[in-house]
Amino acid sequence: MSDVEHRDARISERILESMRDGVITIDLTGRIITFNGAAGRILGKDPTEVLGHSFAEEFLAEESFDDFNEVVFKAVYEATTMHSVEVALQVEGKRTDLLVASSFLTFDGDDGEEQRFGVVVVFSDMTEERKRRKIKRLFGEYVDPRIVDRILSSTEAARNRRGDMTISFVDMRDFTGWSERLDTDALVDLLNRFLAAMTEPISAAGGITDKYIGDSAMACWGAPFTEDATQARDACRAALGQINALPELRTALVANGVEHAENLDAVVGVATGDVLSGDIGPPSSRNFTVIGNAVNIAARLQEAAKAYGQKILVAEETAKRAGEGFVFREIDRLTVRGSQRPVTVFALLGTPEDVDPAVLELVDTYQSGLAAIRAREWDKARKAFNACLEIDPVDVPAAMMLERVDAFEADPPPASWDGVWRRAQRAMINHPPLK
């Protein structure tokens, strides 16, 4: 062998050993002439003990290699240039899934005709890839594909992350009443159609539907799944989409004969803040989820939306980050159950082009009333809130604030009062029902 031929052979050997795919070549006598390290690792054989041996001796005696052998022999006995198929082997007691390709090796003879001189078999370990595909098939209908991809592609440490996210909860109103009026099948159908209608705007706005909790759905926006800079805006867009989806859903339910379907309603709570996201739970039943104060606030705002007579309530941080493309109405400063941290709460009314000028007048008048009540100017506050009711006689927040003015005038808050309506204080007021 010349120096050039020797060099080329060494290069070929190094290339074969660096490959992640297994490579076997067999001459026409059935002798194994190439068996790289990857082939040994995948098939559980020592290359030094296999090279030069008969392929039949090494593989035909083991039943677990039957499908693998069939692909190899197709290259010998069939005229097709390349054969490729997925096969499953039992290697050292474990299932190994392979993508195996085989073809014959040829050279041009002295007469110019193509001559066969052996077979090459190349195979890849597809075990992990098959597992990934199976998981995606199993969970694709229930879990956002981005969550599945993150679970499959990340280490446990990388899957867990702490940072700002925007969380929303949407909830069907009067679910207890619906459950009393409908039989089981009709109730399940109603729930499925409601949650489907509420989930679509989440997806359209790029959000992750984290979970369904009875008649409510929790969603999140932010890194690593969505654009961090637009998370609050996207969540607000989704919340408006959820409320706007209700008329079409009501119409469809009425057409299907669901009684009182015209009364179907929903409320949404949205909050932005620091959360922990990742695989939470014991090893036997972990789930991807998001936990933190922002999750609690969003859930409580969804509850509070009913009492304040609003469709969508958002926390101050969400309103700030959402920007000027939305109309917000400050509703109150309060503490929510499970937290002592004050939250300034806003109602999301829509986009500027969609909000009626009369509503904008009510927003400004109500804001002046809030400023007056916080300044302990009871008469001025009462006048502002009465003006709100002249604009909208069924405005729940204005009616609530009038009751609060009366309560504070009769029993003024302490000098240290910071304008926050706390849970103990809220017990003083009989909140009117949502109109």
pLDDT in tens, 197-240: 999 999 999 998 988 888 999 999 998 788 889 999 999 999 99
- The CATH homologous superfamily to which domain 162-355 belongs is Nucleotide cyclase, GGDEF domain (3.30.70.1230)
pLDDT category of residue 140 using cuts at 50, 70 and 90:
very low
108 versus 16: which is more confidently predicted? 16
> Which residues pair with residue 163 across a beta bridge?
275
d(CA 223, CA 38): 38
Q: Give yes or no on whether 3-125 and 162-355 have one common fold.
A: no
- Range in 70-74, 306-310, 431-435 the model is least confident about: 431-435
- For residue 196, CA distances in Å to 192, 203, 247, 249, 397 come to 6, 11, 14, 10, 31
Residue 224: asked if its preceding bond is cis (omega within 30°), the reply is yes
pLDDT in tens, 154-185: 555 556 778 899 999 999 998 888 888 888 88
Q: DSSP strand E in 92-213: where? A: 94-108, 114-125, 161-172, 208-213
For the chain, the structural domain boundaries read: 3-125, 127-159, 162-355
pLDDT category of residue 259 using cuts at 50, 70 and 90:
confident
pLDDT over 60 (residue 138)? no
* Residue 340 pLDDT: 78
The listed CATH number (3.90.1150.10, 3.40.50.11540, 3.30.450.20, 3.40.50.1010) that belongs to domain 3-125: 3.30.450.20
Residue 314 makes CB contacts below 8 A (sequence gap 6+) with 236, 239, 269, 270, 271, 301, 322, 328, 345, 346, 347, 348
pLDDT over 50 (residue 432)? no
- Range in 141-150, 158-167, 424-433 the model is least confident about: 424-433
pLDDT category of residue 28 using cuts at 50, 70 and 90:
confident
Q: Are residues 203 and 209 in contact, defined by beta-carbon separation less than 8 angstroms? A: yes
d(CA 176, CA 199): 21
pLDDT over 90 (residue 422)? no
* Residue 134 pLDDT: 56
- Range in 109-123, 135-149, 359-373, 386-400 the model is least confident about: 135-149
* Residue 399 pLDDT: 97
| Rg, the chain, Cα only | 34
* Residue 430 pLDDT: 41
Q: Compute the mean pLDDT over every residue in the chain, rounded to the nearest whole number.
A: 84
389 versus 427: which is more confidently predicted? 389
Phi-psi region of 321 (alpha: psi -120 to 50; beta: other; left: phi over 0): alpha
pLDDT over 80 (residue 40)? yes
pLDDT over 50 (residue 150)? yes
353 versus 127: which is more confidently predicted? 353
* Residue 169 pLDDT: 97
pLDDT over 90 (residue 105)? no
pLDDT category of residue 426 using cuts at 50, 70 and 90:
very low
d(CA 66, CA 87): 9
Angle between helices 127-139 and 145-153 (to 10 degrees): 150
